[in-house]
Structure 1
Amino acid sequence: MNGMLAAGQTLVTEEGEKVTVAELFGSGGQGEVYRVRTRNGDRAAKWYYPQLADTRQRRILDGLIDRGWADDRFLWPRSIVTSPDSRVPGFGYLMDVRPDRFHGLPELFRRDPSVSATTVRTLVTAALHTVEAYRTLHSRGIAYRDINWGNVFFDPATGDVLICDNDNAVVEGEDAGVAGTMDFMAPELVRQEQGVQPGIQTDLHSLAVLLFLLLMNHHPLDGALALGIRCMDEPAKRKLYGTDPVFVYDPADARNRPVPGEQPTVIATWRALPKILQDLFVATFTRGLRNPGSRVRESQWRDALSRVLDAVTVCRSCGRQNMTEPDGPAPQCWKCGRTLVLPPLLTVTTGTGTLRTHRGIRLEPHARVYAHHLAHDPDRHDFTAVVGEVTEHPRQPGRFGLTNRTASAWTVRRDDGKVQDVLPGRTVGLRAGLLLEFGGGTEAVVRD
Structure 2
Amino acid sequence: MSELRTGETISLQGGGKVTIKKELGRGGQGIVYQVDYNGKDEALKWYLKDEGDLFYRNLQRNVNSTPPSSNFLWPLRITERQNESFGYVMHLRPKGYYELGDFFTAKVRFKNYDSVLHAAINICNGFLRLHLSGYSYQDLNEGNFFINPENGDLLICDNDNVAANRTESGIKGKSRYMAAEVVNGGVPNIQSDVFSLAIVLYRLFMLDHPFEGMTTLKYVCLTDEVERNIYGEGAIFAWDREDNSNRPHPQIHYNAHLRWGWCPQSLKEAFQKALGKESVLHPESRMTDREWKNLFVELRRKLIVCPESKGTDHDFMVDDINSTLTCPLCGKPVEIGALLKFGDGTEYALTRHKKLYLDDSDESVGVARVRKADGRTELGLQNLSDNNWMVFTASGRLNELAKDDIMPLRDGMKIRFNNRTTAEVIIH
Q: Give the TM-score of the pair, scaled to structure 2.
A: 0.91
2: CA distance, partners of 1:251 / 1:117: 29
- For residues 387-440 of structure 1, give each alpha carbon's deviation from its aligned partner in whole angstroms, at most 9, with x where no partner exists: x432334655621222445544514241xx443333425544223333334453
Q: Contact 1:422/1:428 (CA < 8 Å) preserved in 2?
A: no
1: CA distance, partners of 2:97 / 2:14: 30
2: CA distance, partners of 1:214 / 1:143: 21
Partner of 1:204: 194
2: CA distance, partners of 1:106 / 1:330: 36
- For residues 133-184 of structure 1, give each alpha carbon's deviation from its aligned partner in whole angstroms, at most 9, with x where no partner exists: 1111111111100100011110011211111111011011211121111201
Partner of 1:347: 341
The one-letter code sitting in structure 2 at the alignment partner of 1:204 is V
Q: CA RMSD in A?
A: 2.3
Secondary structure of the equivalent of 2:319? Answer: coil
Q: Contact 2:321/2:349 (CA < 8 Å) preserved in 1?
A: no
Secondary structure of the equivalent of 2:161? Answer: coil
The one-letter code sitting in structure 2 at the alignment partner of 1:169 is V
Q: What is the number of residues matched between the two proteins?
A: 420
Q: Contact 2:30/2:48 (CA < 8 Å) preserved in 1?
A: yes
Q: Give the TM-score of the pair, scaled to structure 1.
A: 0.87
Secondary structure of the equivalent of 1:183? Answer: coil
1:156 aligns with 2:156: no
The one-letter code sitting in structure 2 at the alignment partner of 1:10 is T
Partner of 2:6: 7
Distance 1:424 1:26, change over 3 A: closer
Secondary structure of the equivalent of 1:422? Answer: strand
Secondary structure of the equivalent of 1:184? Answer: coil
Q: Contact 1:318/1:336 (CA < 8 Å) preserved in 2?
A: no
* Residue 358 of structure 1, aligned match among 338, 345, 348: 345
1:227 aligns with 2:225: no
* Residue 383 of structure 1, aligned match among 349, 363, 378: 363
Partner of 1:433: 412
Partner of 2:271: 281
Deviating 4+ runs (over 4 angstroms): 394-397
Distance 1:249 1:117, change over 3 A: closer
Matches within 5 A, 1:52-71: 52-69=50-67, 71=69
2: CA distance, partners of 1:299 / 1:344: 29
Structure 1 segments unaligned to the other structure (5+ residues): 350-356
CA displacement at 1:334 relative to structure 2:
2.6
Structure 2 segments unaligned to the other structure (5+ residues): none
2: CA distance, partners of 1:182 / 1:76: 24
Secondary structure of the equivalent of 1:15? Answer: coil
Q: Contact 2:2/2:85 (CA < 8 Å) preserved in 1?
A: no
Partner of 1:24: 23
Greater alpha carbon shift after TM alignment, 71-80 vs 168-177: 71-80
Partner of 2:33: 34
Q: Contact 2:11/2:17 (CA < 8 Å) preserved in 1?
A: yes
Secondary structure of the equivalent of 1:176? Answer: coil
Q: Contact 1:318/1:335 (CA < 8 Å) preserved in 2?
A: no
The one-letter code sitting in structure 1 at the alignment partner of 2:92 is V
The one-letter code sitting in structure 2 at the alignment partner of 1:14 is Q
Partner of 1:312: 303
Distance 1:167 1:72, change over 3 A: same
CA displacement at 1:26 relative to structure 2:
1.8
Greater alpha carbon shift after TM alignment, 332-341 vs 144-153: 332-341
1:82 aligns with 2:80: yes
CA displacement at 1:312 relative to structure 2:
1.9
Partner of 1:168: 161
2: CA distance, partners of 1:103 / 1:441: 36
Distance 1:442 1:74, change over 3 A: closer
Partner of 1:95: 90
2: CA distance, partners of 1:8 / 1:264: 47
CA displacement at 1:275 relative to structure 2:
1.6
Partner of 2:232: 242
Seq. identity, %:
29
CA displacement at 1:253 relative to structure 2:
1.5
CA displacement at 1:111 relative to structure 2:
0.9
* Residue 381 of structure 2, aligned match among 368, 381, 402: 402
Q: Contact 1:307/1:326 (CA < 8 Å) preserved in 2?
A: no
The one-letter code sitting in structure 1 at the alignment partner of 2:303 is V
Distance 1:260 1:332, change over 3 A: farther
- For residues 63-96 of structure 1, give each alpha carbon's deviation from its aligned partner in whole angstroms, at most 9, with x where no partner exists: 101114373211111111137xx5x222211111
2: CA distance, partners of 1:230 / 1:258: 17
The one-letter code sitting in structure 1 at the alignment partner of 2:176 is D
Secondary structure of the equivalent of 1:82? Answer: coil
Partner of 1:419: 397
Q: Contact 1:284/1:296 (CA < 8 Å) preserved in 2?
A: yes
Partner of 2:248: 258
Q: Contact 2:2/2:48 (CA < 8 Å) preserved in 1?
A: no
The one-letter code sitting in structure 1 at the alignment partner of 2:356 is V
